[in-house]
Chain A
């Protein structure tokens, strides 16, 4: 079991690394700069893929949580837990890249508009999810509580997505949803999205294997 996933791990890691390097090159060198913003717009190739991958990660938490509550199989809980950790990482990257982008364009690192506030709430929900897991002694009970948070927490993502339409914000509406992105930017964005998706898959595979080992250690301790 472990050897099979380890064999997959190296090619996945290499593919992610190669795609990230290619994405950096295409995003920083090959792609044109934006007419209005100039070079700083290239942060898009980090900001947009990381947030979309964070959404994907929390969707996997949702799926794992629902499946765990239905089947009570440990593997679903391990998957949800692993994906939540990586989702938090990608959310932090999104917010950091957004701040670096916001300072030169908007004139502020941060502002409490609806898009930024609901994204901060997303980060807090899943940090809470991880803290809850760490706080509850009983493994099965912690997994059950976390699954509920993992399901309800996902509700924030459609709110984030719609925030720029429901409320007045400083953050502009979605360029992708409105077709306001010149097609010349599609290939570099798609490449970087693929690169970060591969990185997510690699990290997830690593973290799930670690979770399996953790569960195995716990089982053996209980048997002693």
Chain B
């Protein structure tokens, strides 16, 4: 093998090794985008004060929303553990009970999660609205009303 080829082979191996490490080593550890409420519970007091993301389902019946103060309280659950979340602000449109959400913020000493940002996590499913369903259906009906108007 010519030394020139050897050089390329060595370079290629270094790049492949670095990519492999990024994928299966380094990124695996650092690219944990959010922890689950169960993992948060396992971390105990060591989680207090650190910047964190927690992901889970918004527990049905847990949302308390005061539109005057913009104070939003709810519980985020993974079916095993749940964490109480407090946030001041308006959540995104897709935020709702029984749906996925990721919250950014810190855990206080009391064990409450103070969220600086609420992110709605939606599923990969897309389908048209069924008969009489949702805002989209209302708009469709509105369109049909317009069409039925005489002279238009």
Contact, CB under 8 Å: A35 / B33: no
Report the separation of the CA atoms of residues A159 and B16 in the bound assembly, to the nearest whole angstrom. 13
How near does chain A come to B33, taking the closest CB pair, in angstroms?
Answer: 5
Contact, CB under 8 Å: B23 / A105: no
Q: Does B50 contact A (CB under 8 A)?
A: no
Q: Which residues of B contact A35 (CB under 8 A)?
A: 127-130, 133-134, 136
Q: Does A39 contact B (CB under 8 A)?
A: yes
For A155, the closest partner residue in chain B by CB is B19
Contact, CB under 8 Å: B33 / A182: no
Report the separation of the CA atoms of residues A208 and B115 in the bound assembly, to the nearest whole angstrom. 51
Q: Does A5 contact B (CB under 8 A)?
A: no
Residues A159-183 near B (CB distance < 8 A): 159, 166-170, 172-175, 178, 180-182
Q: Does A44 contact B (CB under 8 A)?
A: yes
Out of B55, B117, B130, B134, name the residue touching A38 (CB < 8 Å). B134
How near does chain B come to A100, taking the closest CB pair, in angstroms?
Answer: 14
Q: Does B2 contact A (CB under 8 A)?
A: no
- A-side interface size class: 35 or more
Q: Does B141 contact A (CB under 8 A)?
A: no
Contact, CB under 8 Å: A34 / B124: no
Given the known interface contacts A108-B117, A167-B32, the answer about A182 and B122 at a Cβ–Cβ threshold of 8 Å is: no
How near does chain B come to A113, taking the closest CB pair, in angstroms?
Answer: 5
Given the known interface contacts A105-B120, A106-B121, A172-B122, the answer about A182 and B129 at a Cβ–Cβ threshold of 8 Å is: no
Given the known interface contacts A106-B120, A155-B19, A178-B124, the answer about A39 and B136 at a Cβ–Cβ threshold of 8 Å is: yes
Stretch at the interface among B41-49, B58-66, B69-77, B92-100: B92-100
Report the separation of the CA atoms of residues A84 and B28 in the bound assembly, to the nearest whole angstrom. 29
Q: Does A132 contact B (CB under 8 A)?
A: no
Q: Does B119 contact A (CB under 8 A)?
A: yes
Contact, CB under 8 Å: B124 / A173: yes
How near does chain A come to B117, taking the closest CB pair, in angstroms?
Answer: 7
Out of A34, A104, A155, name the residue touching B126 (CB < 8 Å). A34
Residues B21-50 near A (CB distance < 8 A): 23, 27-28, 31-34
How near does chain A come to B128, taking the closest CB pair, in angstroms?
Answer: 4
For A149, the closest partner residue in chain B by CB is B15
Chosen A-B contacts, 23 in total, with CB atoms closer than 8 Å, are A32-B129, A33-B136, A33-B139, A34-B127, A35-B134, A36-B94, A36-B125, A38-B135, A38-B139, A105-B120, A107-B91, A107-B92, A107-B119, A108-B117, A167-B27, A167-B31, A168-B32, A169-B33, A170-B33, A170-B121, A172-B123, A173-B124, A174-B124
B interface residues, Cβ below 8 angstroms from A: 15, 19, 23, 27-28, 31-34, 55, 91-95, 102, 117-130, 133-136, 139-140
Q: List 11 extra interface pairs beyond A32-B128, A35-B127, A105-B122, CB under 8 A.
A: A32-B136, A33-B129, A104-B93, A105-B120, A112-B33, A155-B19, A159-B23, A167-B28, A170-B119, A181-B124, A182-B126
